[in-house]
Structure 1
Amino acid sequence: MSSFLFGFALVLIVSIGARDQLLVARLAGRTGPGLVVAGGLAATFSACMMAWGGAWIADMLFPAAQAMLVALALGAAAIELMWPASDKAPREPSHSIIAAFVVLLARQLGDAGRFLIFALSAATALPWLVAAGGAIGGTGALVVGWIAGRDLETALPLRAIRLVLAAVLLIAAFTIGLTARGIV
């Protein structure tokens, strides 16, 4: 159960101001609830893919190498959090749910939340609970973006929040990496 809760909480937290959440927030006034459904499906699919990948690769590694894999995934998540999001509002001429699914899936496959799902799946014995928690957390973040709409970008200092989260993940990555190497 803790695998589920960690997946849920971490993905929900690091998805604050994420590219997929901002896209849903920017399109919220122009599209219907189908956008959230497409986002939920994309979040579920991406969480399952990353959980499977993390568990599959971790099964081939020794414990110290698994810890290094987790550290690298956390570092990748931190870098993604530091990367500035685009300020351009998208044009959505088609209002296609399938197009929204494809775009949201592409944005999610390389975001911090999915890297955390990968890391947690590599570190725990229950990757499918991590995937379920991550899928629900990712969908929850998109629902928040859809409800908040354009106000999301002005209601919170998103850039500052993401930089603080990146710093926390970098510290965790260095600590885990140094521990895996036997330095700490």
Structure 2
Amino acid sequence: MPSFFLALLAAAAATLGGREAVRVARLSARLGPALGLLVASWIACIVACALAAWLGAGLAAQLFPEAQAMLVAIVLLLAGLELALLGPGRAPREPTRSFGAILLVLGMAQITGAAGFLVFALAASTGTPALAAAGGALGSAAVLTAAWSIGPGWEARLPLKPLRYTIAGLLIVAALVTGLDARGILG
């Protein structure tokens, strides 16, 4: 059960600081709080987290324990760098109203974003991919639901840039500690 709660908290924090929440808030502001956007957000989170957990557990099963720890360190580093280097980008001028297009964009952003990387790492390190996927999907979807409901006020109400850099820094430190521990340098 700890992997569920850890994935829930980690994915929520990563989504809060990431680009996906800003994208959903901007779409909600432009399209109105359409229920289709909310449903697409939840489906994207569920599918992306399930895929990330399945890939993480499958790859970790083929590695020695030391290599598993290095894999987790690399994935944590990638998640931190993704948050630190990739900002939300420009708002769409004419966003699509296509459910499929929104689902595809949000799903790809979720699987290649920090939340997807964290679910991958947790599934690889804990050996409980179903719990990591469920926690990650719930955490990410909860943040996207908040972004959907707040809409245009999302960027104005939250200090997104400092939040993003803080979470990125924590992930990079966790990657360094995990990597040094895997190499036997810390203990």
RMSD: 1.2
CA deviation vs aligned residue, 1:51-101 (integer Å, no higher than 9, x gap): 001000000011110000000010000001102424411134541111110
Task: Write the mapping of 1:105-120 to structure 2, written as runs, cut at 5 A.
Answer: 105-120=107-122
- Partner of 1:85: helix, strand, or coil? coil
Aligned position for 2:10: 10
Aligned position for 1:125: 127
Alignment size in residue pairs: 184
TM superposition score normalised by structure 2:
0.94
Distance 1:113 1:34, change over 3 A: same
> Amino acid of the residue matched to residue 155 of structure 1?
R
In structure 2, what is the Cα distance between the partners aligned to 1:132 and 1:65? 25
Please state if 1:148 is matched with 2:177. no
Please state if 1:158 is matched with 2:155. no
Aligned position for 1:95: 97
Displacement of 1:128 in angstroms is 0.7
Aligned position for 1:36: 38
Displacement of 1:13 in angstroms is 1.1
Distance 1:93 1:168, change over 3 A: closer
TM superposition score normalised by structure 1:
0.96
Aligned position for 2:59: 57
Task: Write the mapping of 1:18-29 to structure 2, written as runs, cut at 5 A.
Answer: 18-29=18-29
- Partner of 1:90: helix, strand, or coil? coil
In structure 1, what is the Cα distance between the partners aligned to 2:174 and 2:86? 21
CA contact (8 A) 2:96 2:102 kept: no
CA contact (8 A) 1:84 1:159 kept: no
In structure 2, what is the Cα distance between the partners aligned to 1:91 and 1:25? 14
In structure 2, what is the Cα distance between the partners aligned to 1:149 and 1:107? 18
> Amino acid of the residue matched to residue 71 of structure 2?
L
> Amino acid of the residue matched to residue 52 of structure 1?
W
Identity level (%): 42
In structure 2, what is the Cα distance between the partners aligned to 1:6 and 1:43? 16
Runs of 4+ in 1 over 6 A off after TM superposition: none
- Partner of 2:16: helix, strand, or coil? coil
